[in-house]
């Protein structure tokens, strides 16, 4: 298992981020869902820290919160069939998905990813939010000798390089300026000077216990997770004028409508038949996919 801690500072307060995160996830899932791929919401309901499917570590983590109100549980299926290399599509079920289970007791959350087709695959993410720029050390209270082995990765939403295929100038914090809050653009050193500021601390365990593939695959999983964190948090800030006036009721209603639309899009497209690629094309594409993991 490979563990890393990501710290993502944002020019927001922890209270504002609660709304912005829900808006961003709902909108991002909708925009990324098409052609049978995307995020299907299976369950979205209230929950407690004593859910029977949670392990003891998860329950203990959630009991740390000061406000013992109920949380929100979501279960999602992230459909990936057409995004797999063709050689892998040939041996996987036609409807291939990763299951995401999330327990949101803001400002503490737990998210886990599993896949029935890959029983040795598991990702577990513990998250805490604080009103600072990522300066708190060992927020997760890990034994010191173990903590020294964990890589701390400070993610800069403005100046870290993003995958070019996801780049949009209007979502670039170096250029974006909020009309409603007057925040932005973010300049070099903004995490030391901008106020308000908060940080999302994420302790990420990536596990793929398959001999000969474990190290490379776990590193690859972390690269993918970092890319998603960077893109999502850039969007949460650059979309601030769309969500800053929402309260919790309004964002939950937006979330509900967006999830219904996304489910309809993913499931209806998934039922449509797809063409089988030619063997030569499959071979070329599979080689490309393997080289990308390297």
Query: What pLDDT does residue 81 have?
Result: 58
- The count of C-alpha atoms lying within 13 angstroms of the C-alpha of 172, restricted to the half-sphere facing its C-beta, is 14
Give the model's confidence band at 274: pLDDT under 50 very low, under 70 low, under 90 confident, else very high: very low
Pick from 227, 81, 117: which is nearest to 219 by CA?
227
The Cα 174–Cα 184 span in angstroms is 7
pLDDT greater than 50 at residue 162: yes
Ranking 9-18, 91-100, 153-162, 227-236 by mean pLDDT, the lowest is: 91-100
The percentage of the chain sitting over the pLDDT mark of 70, rounded to a whole number, equals 83
For the stretch 194-233, pLDDT in tens is 999 999 999 999 999 888 889 998 999 999 999 999 999 9
This prediction's pTM: 0.85
Is residue 255 within 8 Å of residue 249, measured between CB atoms? Answer: no
Give 167-231 as a DSSP string.
Answer: --GGG-TTT---TTT------TTHHHH-SS-EEEEEEEEEEE--TTTHHHHHHHHHHHHHHHHHH
Sorting pLDDT into bands at 50, 70 and 90, what band is 289?
very low
* pLDDT for 95: 56
Mean pLDDT of the residues in the chain? 86
**What pLDDT, on the 0 to 100 scale, is given for residue 79?**
80
- What domains, with CATH codes, occur in the chain? 2-273 (3.30.530.20)
CA 138 – CA 208 distance, rounded (Å): 25
pLDDT in tens, 33-42: 766 667 888 9
pLDDT at 163 over 50: yes
């Amino acid at each position: 298992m490979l563990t890393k801690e990501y710290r993502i500072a944002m020019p927001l307060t922890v209270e504002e981020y609660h709304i912005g995160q829900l808006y961003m996830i709902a909108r991002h899932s909708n925009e990324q869902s098409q052609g049978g791929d995307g995020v299907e919401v299976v369950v979205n309901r209230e929950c407690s820290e004593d859910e029977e499917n949670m392990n003891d570590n998860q329950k203990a983590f959630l009991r740390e919160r000061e406000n013992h109100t109920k949380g929100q549980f979501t279960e999602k299926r992230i459909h990936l069939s057409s995004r797999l290399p063709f050689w892998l599509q040939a041996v996987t079920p036609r409807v291939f998905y990763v299951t995401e289970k999330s327990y949101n007791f803001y400002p503490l959350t737990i998210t886990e990813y599993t896949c029935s087709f890959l029983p040795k695959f598991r990702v577990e993410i513990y998250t805490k939010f604080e009103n600072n720029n990522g300066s708190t050390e060992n927020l997760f209270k890990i034994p010191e000798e173990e903590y020294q082995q964990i890589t701390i990765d400070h993610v800069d939403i403005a100046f870290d390089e993003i995958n070019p295929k996801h780049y949009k100038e209007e979502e670039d914090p170096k250029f974006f300026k909020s009309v409603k809050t007057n925040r932005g653009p973010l300049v070099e050193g903004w995490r030391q000077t901008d106020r308000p500021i908060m940080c999302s601390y994420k302790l990420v365990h990536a596990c793929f216990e398959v001999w000969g593939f474990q190290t490379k695959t776990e590193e690859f999983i972390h690269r993918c997770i970092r890319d998603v964190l960077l893109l999502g948090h850039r969007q949460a800030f650059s979309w601030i004028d769309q969500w800053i006036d929402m309260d919790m009721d309004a964002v939950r209603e937006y979330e509900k409508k967006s999830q219904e639309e996304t489910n309809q899009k993913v499931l209806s497209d998934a039922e449509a038949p797809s063409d089988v690629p030619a063997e030569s094309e499959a071979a070329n594409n599979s080689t490309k996919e393997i080289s990308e993991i390297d």
